[in-house]
Structure 1
Amino acid sequence: MDQRVTSLAERIGIVEAPVLPQHPDVAAWRAATGSDIDGIWQLRQSMGEVDHPNYLTARGAIAADFGYSHFRPELDSLVGLDEAGHIVAVGMVMCPPRQVSLVRSMPIGGVHPSLRGRGIGRQLLAWQLARAKQQLASSARTLPGWVLSYADERSPQNASLFEHAGLSLARYFLTLERSLDAAVRAVETADGIRIAAYTAAASAEVHRTRDDAFMDHWGSQPMSDENWNAFVGGQWFRPDLSFVAYGTDSTGTERVVGFVLSTANENVWATQGFTGSYIDLVGVLSGWRGRHIAQSLLAAQLAAGRALGHERVTLAVDSDSPTGALGLYTGMGFVPTHRKMAYTLEF
């Protein structure tokens, strides 16, 4: 664990209150409320159709954000309205609560495509960064603190905004696709390993395994129970396309040692141009790696999607993952299609 001598609060110091944007093309700015979920979702749809049409934010994901106890919309959100009262800009700043080796504050949002290039996004991001610094400065933890945000390479204006604001390019994440036209190569399960469909009864143990398996992943921290339950209880989560690996240890005890968890948002199939699922999470405990467990899990997921008549499977991977994940996926027939950049401001 990367421990610092002083706390984040001491390192960052007093942060001035975020300055409310002022722009002639935005009639009013205010904090968001739960009644704005539909308006924010409609804006995010318009943004996504231009920036990354292969994946669009689901309304349920926005509703889940408003339900998290660590998100205080009166402090952590801002919406810009046009003269008709429509939301044309949104900024949210999320600070997930479980912080083992890193404290993260993550700005998300943007401006309607019809209003871009006028300086609205720059003012909105300045407000978000000030709020992000406030969140980090409220922490007494002696851990690194990151402001962390992402930009799709197909929306270079976001990367330019981040760089202008002082964030640094830290990582590349690749979107990979795998056509299901071809048969899925069978993978022989290693001795002592059992692959089974995901069930709600296994949720808590899979959650613990996910947290353990991802601790050596860049920028990752354990998921809160709220975040986990919103994911596996979400509208688009697909238990029939999610699988769990059980391993038997030297004492004869069987436990969860790996998982592949998937979603399928049918609302984006038209814009992305194919039917299929998205693999949100793949992981194997470090002590169980090297036994083709991940390959077995992926093979089960691919076969299940093919049996449903899906055309492709997609996922995202850290291009510099120390686990060798990129080679694993390309070896299973996945090919890169797009790239997303992670930007950070570190304290």
Structure 2
Amino acid sequence: MTQDALSARLGSVPAPQVPSHPDVATWRPATAADIDAIHTLMGAADPVDHPTWTTPREDIADLFDLAEMDPARDMLLAEDADGTLLAYGEVLLHPSREGGELTVYLSGTVHPAHRRRGIGARLLAWQHARGLERLAEGAAHLEDGGVSGEMKIYAEERNAGQRALAEAAGYQVERWFTSMVRDLADAPGIPTVPDGLEVVAYTHDRDLDALEARNDAFRDHWGSRPTEPQRWMQFVGGEFFRADLSRLVLDGGRIVAFCLASVNEDDWETLGASNSYIDLIGVVRSHRRRGLAPLVIANTLDAIRAAGLQKAVLDVDTASPTGANALYEGLGFAATERSIALVMHV
């Protein structure tokens, strides 16, 4: 282990201390029995922080099944004297150890009625300390002590309080993301399929092939880490994923481009229209600059429109090396909300 190793830079990391706040009667770890209470809390925060989409209960439940998540140590709840949930925080170390690099994600929320009282600052301090501990634990098991570590917080642009808390704790804005919406009243133009390729609907016999294509396509994207099989199967096997709306481009049976879509009807009311969310768009590196992104997206849009849905929604990194912003605008998408990624490098 060299002096520059991550484990050496972190040194001895103290265990996080349970916070204290006059409005909070109890700080405690979360259990699977708290899923509904956490979902209710998110339901109160969602209309304030991101009015056009909601947090599915499935997303919260999935966290408790992850091998890399230890709810007893990585989740913290704040309750008042009546047992009502006021705040929730989680710390997740990504399972990838590629290149000796570790990434920890901090997320959670405070009930809007209890914000600006210092609860969020206490919660973030605990998350930060636990995040450092998780990095230290991960680095200790890496060859030569690891190379680098980072902690990330994603925040909606409209949630100025969350950004202020993160920046006060030393996190800096590194990336902006934009949500984009396309009205499907008009049919998308479908590009001609290049010779030797074919466009097909997603089928679950290709799940692991699709994971391989996803990891290849996103390898050089900012902040992207390889998706692990467990997390991938939660996604493609989840109740919202729509294989019938998702499209793949094949070259000799190999997936070389993909556009994967989901439908959460709870978002229809918040957006004001029936819609499908496009979760992932990608082209493997060996097949870029051949027009496959607009091809696979247009075919997915056509499938969404044919299903009778009114809009398509996606999110894009505004500084994507693929020029995705211009691509999506050319396909009829218009920007709406923005979010940010705040990062601390260790």
Q: TM tier, shorter chain?
A: over 0.9
1:209 to 207, 210, 213: 213
CA distance in 1, matches of 2:44, 2:268: 16
Aligned to 2:59: 61
**Cα deviations by residue, 1:214-269 (Å, 9 ceiling, x for unpaired):** 00000101111111011001111111111111013xxxxx3111111111110121
Alignment of 1:292-331 (within 5 A): 292-331=291-330
Aligned to 1:234: 238
Instruction: Give the AA of the match of 1:158.
Output: Q
Alignment of 1:143-292 (within 5 A): 143-248=147-252, 254-292=253-291
1:49 to 44, 47, 50: 47
Aligned residues of 1:8 and 1:138 also touching (Cα < 8 A): no
Aligned to 2:86: 88
Give the 3-state SS of the residue equivalent to 1:128 in structure 2.
helix
Instruction: Give the AA of the match of 1:239.
Output: A
Aligned to 2:21: 23
Alignment of 1:99-110 (within 5 A): 99-101=97-99, 102-110=101-109
CA distance in 1, matches of 2:293, 2:216: 15
Aligned to 1:336: 335
**Cα deviations by residue, 1:97-138 (Å, 9 ceiling, x for unpaired):** 123243110011011000001000000000000000111112
**Cα deviations by residue, 1:47-89 (Å, 9 ceiling, x for unpaired):** 1111001121110011000100110011101001122212111
TM-score (norm 1): 0.95
**Cα deviations by residue, 1:122-159 (Å, 9 ceiling, x for unpaired):** 00000000000111112234232110111111111111
Give me the CA root mean square deviation.
1.2
Give the 3-state SS of the residue equivalent to 1:139 in structure 2.
helix
CA distance in 1, matches of 2:274, 2:3: 51
Aligned residues of 1:218 and 1:321 also touching (Cα < 8 A): yes
Instruction: Give the AA of the match of 1:230.
Output: Q
CA distance in 2, matches of 1:170, 1:5: 27
Number of aligned pairs? 339
Aligned residues of 2:3 and 2:9 also touching (Cα < 8 A): no
Q: CA deviation at 1:192?
A: 1.6
Give the 3-state SS of the residue equivalent to 1:239 in structure 2.
coil
Aligned residues of 2:176 and 2:341 also touching (Cα < 8 A): yes
CA distance in 2, matches of 1:12, 1:237: 40
CA distance in 2, matches of 1:308, 1:57: 24
Give the 3-state SS of the residue equivalent to 1:229 in structure 2.
helix
Instruction: Give the AA of the match of 2:147.
Output: L
TM-score (norm 2): 0.95
CA distance in 2, matches of 1:214, 1:289: 12
CA distance in 1, matches of 2:121, 2:7: 26
Structure 1: gaps of 5 or more residues: 249-253
Instruction: Give the AA of the match of 1:143.
Output: V
Structure 2: gaps of 5 or more residues: none
CA distance in 2, matches of 1:193, 1:64: 36
Aligned residues of 2:96 and 2:225 also touching (Cα < 8 A): yes
Aligned to 1:37: 35
CA distance in 2, matches of 1:193, 1:10: 50
Q: Which piece of structure 1 moves more, 98-107 or 174-183?
A: 98-107
**Cα deviations by residue, 1:34-57 (Å, 9 ceiling, x for unpaired):** 100110111011111110011211
Aligned to 1:251: none
CA distance in 1, matches of 2:230, 2:263: 21
Q: CA deviation at 1:211?
A: 0.5
CA distance in 1, matches of 2:292, 2:16: 48
CA distance in 1, matches of 2:97, 2:246: 27
Instruction: Give the AA of the match of 2:148.
Output: P
CA distance in 2, matches of 1:11, 1:258: 40
Aligned residues of 1:189 and 1:292 also touching (Cα < 8 A): no
Instruction: Give the AA of the match of 2:7.
Output: A
**Cα deviations by residue, 1:170-217 (Å, 9 ceiling, x for unpaired):** 000111111101121121111221110000001000001101110000
Give the 3-state SS of the residue equivalent to 1:67 in structure 2.
coil
Instruction: Give the AA of the match of 1:329.
Output: Y
Aligned residues of 2:48 and 2:112 also touching (Cα < 8 A): yes
Identity rate, percent = 41
Give the 3-state SS of the residue equivalent to 2:244 in structure 1.
helix
CA distance in 2, matches of 1:227, 1:209: 15
CA distance in 1, matches of 2:107, 2:213: 28
Q: CA deviation at 1:5?
A: 6.8
Instruction: Give the AA of the match of 1:320.
Output: A
